[in-house]
Structure 1
Amino acid sequence: MNVRPLAQNPDEHARFAAHLDKLRQVADADEADLVSRVLADPDRTMAQSAVLRHVDRRAADLHTGAAYEGWAQMMTQVMTDRPFLAQRLREWLLFRAVTLKLPWQPHDLLASSNWLQLKAAAGTNAGVIEFLAESGRTKRVRNAARATLNHRSES
Structure 2
Amino acid sequence: MNLLDHIASVAALAGRADHDPRALAADEHLRFEWYRAADPVDERAFLELVLLDPDREMATAAVVARIDERGRARGDFHAWAARVGPAVEHVEFLRCRLAEWRLLRDALAGRPVQATAVLAASDWAQRRLAAEVDGDLLALLAVHGRTRRVRALTRVPRPVRRPREPDSGY
Same fold judged by TM-score > 0.5?
Answer: yes
Distance in 1, Cα, partners of 2:23 & 2:152? 49
Match of 2:154 in 1: 145
Match of 2:78 in 1: 69
Distance in 2, Cα, partners of 1:10 & 1:19? 15
1:151 and 1:39, CA in 2 relative to 1: closer, same or farther beyond 3 A? same
Q: Deviations over 1:63-83 (max 9, x none)?
A: xx4x22221111211112111
Q: After TM superposition, list the pairs within 5 Å mapping 1:126-141 onto structure 2.
A: 126-141=135-150
| Aligned 8 A contact 2:108 2:133 in 1 | yes
RMSD (Å), alpha carbons: 2.0
Distance in 2, Cα, partners of 1:32 & 1:90? 16
| TM-score normalised by length of structure 1 | 0.81
| Aligned 8 A contact 1:101 1:125 in 2 | no
| Aligned 8 A contact 2:44 2:87 in 1 | yes
Distance in 1, Cα, partners of 2:33 & 2:106? 32
Match of 2:30 in 1: 14
Greater fraction of residues in helix:
1
Distance in 1, Cα, partners of 2:34 & 2:138? 38
The one-letter code sitting in structure 2 at the alignment partner of 1:140 is R
Q: How many residues align?
A: 140
Q: Does 1:93 align with 2:93?
A: no
Q: CA deviation at 1:115?
A: 0.4
Q: CA deviation at 1:6?
A: 4.2
The structure with higher relative contact order (CA 8 Å, sep 6+) is 2
| TM-score normalised by length of structure 2 | 0.74
Q: How many percent of aligned residue pairs carry the same amino acid? A: 36
Q: Which runs of 5+ in 2 are unaligned?
A: 1-20, 161-170
Name the SS for the 2:154 alignment partner.
Answer: helix
Distance in 2, Cα, partners of 1:143 & 1:44? 35
Match of 1:114 in 2: 123
Q: Deviations over 1:86-140 (max 9, x none)?
A: 1001111111221122221111111110000000011143331222112111100
User: Deviating runs (4+, > 3 A) in structure 1?
Assistant: 5-8
